[in-house]
Amino acid sequence: MSFSSILVLSLIIFFINILLLVNFTVDTITSNVNDRLTISLNLKSSYTNENSEVIELITNIKLFNKTLNVSYISQEDAFSILRKRDPELAKVIESEKDNPLPSSILIKNI
């Protein structure tokens, strides 16, 4: 083999390795983003987890994709989450008569 053919083969192998590295990196980044991505569907105050439409929506989302993690968050649960994240804001909300935070459906592992 001549020097030029060895050089060409070496460059081809090098670029294939670079492409494999880029592919692995993109897959890892995509996986990390999907783990952190959450969709929150805020519901009207009249809807609770006992409402048939909410139950049907949660069931349909779970049937659509088995890997999705779907959970219902009530107004009280939303307030306790807020209290853990931002106690000062929770104190302001406590002074209100009604809890202004909506019930919601969280969809994770998109």
Sheet holding 104-108, edge to edge: 38-42, 104-108, 69-73
In the chain, % of residues over pLDDT 70 = 100
Position 70 scores a pLDDT of: 93
Query: What is the C-alpha separation between 75 and 45, in angstroms, rounded?
Result: 9
Q: What is the pLDDT of residues 2-55, one digit of tens each?
A: 989 999 999 999 999 999 999 999 999 988 888 888 999 999 988 888 989 999
The structure's pTM equals: 0.67
Position 67 scores a pLDDT of: 86
